[in-house]
């Protein structure tokens, strides 16, 4: 009898161990898609690690709300298709919550506001209105709000410039530096980061309404949206929010 009972206990322990290991292996890890180079919100540092204001913010939210997250750098132009295809679960990387994007995804509560500007070399004498009629080359990062804005302007009467698309704003600024293009359009936040390097200036701000940043998630993931929004509200009310903004110059 004792032998049978012992065997039963051993079998039960093995089942619990196996089931527990399976549950642990299947624990959900949410994947955050970030831009390769969109400082200070999301970027890859010199050591090859994802970092930035949004990366650290989401890490705090995940810890507070009891879920795990990892950050996956990827091309910005394909980041919403990757979210819809369930290759990633959230985009927390300085994304403007536009009406067009909101047709495909749901956004968190807004947490930051930006305008669109043109950054040029510091020796460029043309103003923003002049450059948009100069016939010169202007860079854009594919898939951004600024890209859509300039793609609309270039087709309108009275404007004359050539658009040059890039995979990242960093690459466009390398071409501004060597004079291959006259300037590059971007969010005011990344312009502020760019201005930390010598040789650049802002030629002007585009005549467009300010955009608000939000985290993008799939429309059907309502429970996850609730967690993220609750966590983001807690973060914005916590002293750590001010510390993060100070750290990244926001």
Q: What is the pLDDT of residue 26?
A: 65
- Give domain status of residue 17, yes or no: no
Half-sphere exposure of 236 (CA within 13 A, CB side): 12
Q: In what order do the strands lie in the sheet with 90-91?
A: 68-74, 29-35, 90-91, 216-217, 106-107
223 shares a domain with 189 = no
In a domain, 5, yes or no: no
In tens digits, the chain (250 residues) has pLDDT values of 434 434 443 444 444 444 444 444 467 899 999 988 888 999 999 999 999 999 999 999 999 999 999 999 998 989 999 999 999 999 999 999 999 999 999 999 999 999 999 999 999 999 999 999 999 999 999 988 999 999 999 999 999 999 999 998 989 999 999 999 999 999 998 898 888 889 999 999 999 889 999 999 999 999 999 999 999 999 999 999 999 999 998 8
CATH of the domain at 165: 3.40.190.10
Does 102 lie in the same domain as 174? no
* Domain shared by 174 and 103, yes or no: no
- 158 and 136 belong to one structural domain: yes
Do 127 and 202 fall into the same domain? yes
- pLDDT recorded at residue 247: 95
pTM over 0.95: no
Strands 137-141 and 162-166: parallel
Pairing state of beta strands 37-38 and 42-44? antiparallel
Same domain, yes or no: 68 and 104: yes
Is residue 71 in some structural domain?
Answer: yes
6 in a domain, yes or no? Answer: no
Closest residue by Cα to residue 42 from 119, 84, 97, 95: 95
Please report, for residues 5, 76, 187, the alpha-carbon distance to residue 214 in angstroms, rounded to integers and kept in the order given: 58, 15, 14
- Residue 92 maps to a domain: yes
Q: 162 and 181 in one domain?
A: yes
159 and 190 in a common domain: yes
User: Hey, CA dihedral for 144, 150, 156, 162, is it positive or negative?
Assistant: negative
Residues 38 and 87 in one domain: yes
Do 58 and 181 lie in a common domain? no
Cα dihedral across residues 121, 73, 215, 42: positive or negative: negative
Give which of 79, 55, 80, 83 is closest to 69, Cα–Cα: 55
In a domain, 21, yes or no: no
Please tell me the predicted confidence (pLDDT) of residue 38.
Answer: 85
Which pLDDT does position 13 carry in this prediction? 43
- Identify the domain containing residue 152 by its residue range: 116-209
Q: Which residues contact 26 (CB under 8 A, 6 or more apart)?
A: none
The total number of structural domains in the chain stands at: 2
């Amino acid at each position: 009898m004792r032998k049978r009972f012992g065997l039963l206990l051993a079998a039960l322990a093995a089942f619990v161990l196996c089931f527990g290991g399976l549950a642990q292996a299947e624990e959900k890890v949410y994947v955050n898609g970030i831009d390769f180079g969109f400082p200070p919100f999301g970027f890859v540092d010199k050591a090859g690690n994802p970092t930035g204001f949004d990366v650290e913010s989401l890490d705090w939210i995940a810890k507070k709300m009891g879920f795990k997250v990892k950050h996956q750098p990827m091309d910005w132009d394909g980041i919403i298709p990757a979210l819809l295809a369930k290759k990633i679960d959230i985009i927390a990387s300085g994304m403007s919550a536009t009406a067009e994007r909101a047709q495909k995804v749901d956004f968190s509560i807004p947490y930051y506001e930006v305008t669109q500007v043109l950054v040029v070399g510091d020796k460029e004498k043309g103003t923003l209105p002049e450059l948009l009629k100069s016939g010169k080359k202007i860079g854009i990062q594919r898939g951004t709000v600024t890209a859509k804005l300039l793609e609309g302007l270039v087709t309108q009467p009275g404007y004359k410039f050539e658009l040059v698309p890039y995979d990242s704003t960093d690459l466009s600024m390398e071409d501004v530096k060597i004079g291959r293009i006259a300037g590059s359009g971007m969010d005011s936040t990344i312009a502020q980061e760019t201005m930390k390097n010598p040789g650049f200036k802002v030629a002007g701000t585009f005549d467009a309404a300010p955009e608000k940043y939000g985290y993008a998630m799939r429309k059907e993931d309502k429970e996850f949206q609730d967690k993220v929004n609750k966590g983001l509200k807690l973060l914005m009310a916590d002293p750590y929010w001010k510390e993060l903004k100070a750290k990244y110059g926001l």
